[in-house]
Amino acid sequence: MTDSLFEAPPEGEQERMVEALLFASAAPLTVGELHARLPHGCDAPRALERLARRYEGRGVRLMRVGDAWAFRTAADLAFLMTRETVETRKLSRAAIETLAIVAYHQPVTRAEIEEIRGVSVSKGTIEQLMELDWIRLGKRRQTPGRPVTFVVTRAFLDHFGLESPRDLPGLKELRAAGLLESTPPPDAAPEEEEAPQEDLFAPPPPEG
């Protein structure tokens, strides 16, 4: 920490301030955002560390969401919140597959999504996922045409209780959660539908 003309509040008070900011915020806050609101000289990472320890084993836990922090209900108590859950519109199969490809292969271009799925991606599918704030534009590829890439958002990680894309579940877990159909549509042969679905979650082959 750099020297300040003003004495920083005691650690216990800094912890209380960070706790209040996180509870009052509608979205997860980064360390930079916390420092911007805290008095000069405060150590937000230290306060977060103390808070995380204090909330261990409680009904509410301090969780990391990407590069930000937020209070969330303990995972083992999620069943108590079922009546409070707002049911969102069901994603189409195309949207689910597109979202899965972006999550597991990001940063990925539209052409790469279409190559993995084996079919073209409609503009509406991409727009729906962006409206939900589950995917966003990433950096342009330094290749001919400089195509844009897509990556998942902090809102996507927060919705599924993930710290980072590395915590994404496997194919079996997604099917158990109802996020993937366990059977192919009636107009497709099982062997033709199952093979590409496994490929959606396979890591990209090593280059070279």
Whether 98 shows a pLDDT value over 60: the answer reads: yes
Q: Is 138 exposed, middle or buried (0-12, 13-18, 19+ CB in 10 A)?
A: middle
Phi and psi at 24, nearest 5°, equal -80, -20
Domain ranges of the chain: 11-82, 93-199
- Compute the distance between CA of residue 91 and CA of residue 128 in angstroms, rounded to an integer: 9
Whether 5 shows a pLDDT value over 70: the answer reads: no
Which 8-state DSSP code applies to residue 78? G
* Average pLDDT value for residue range 151-160: 86
pLDDT single digits (tens) 164-194: 877 777 666 666 655 555 444 333 333 333 3
- Compute the distance between CA of residue 103 and CA of residue 120 in angstroms, rounded to an integer: 18
Give the HSE-up count for residue 31: Cα atoms under 13 Å, Cβ half-sphere. Answer: 11
- Beta carbons of 161 and 63 less than 8 angstroms apart: yes
- Give percent above pLDDT 90 in the chain: 31
- Does the 11-82 domain belong in CATH 1.10.10.10? yes
* Cβ neighbours of residue 59 closer than 8 Å, sequence gap 6 or more: 73, 74, 77
- Does the 93-199 domain belong in CATH 2.60.40.10? no
* Average pLDDT value for residue range 120-141: 89
What pLDDT score does 162 carry?
81
Instruction: Report residue 86's pLDDT band, with 50, 70 and 90 as the boundaries.
Output: low
What pLDDT score does 22 carry?
93
Residues in the chain: 208
Token digits for 50?
Answer: 């103390």
Whether 42 shows a pLDDT value over 90: the answer reads: yes
What pLDDT score does 175 carry?
61
* Mean pLDDT value across the chain: 78
What pLDDT score does 204 carry?
46
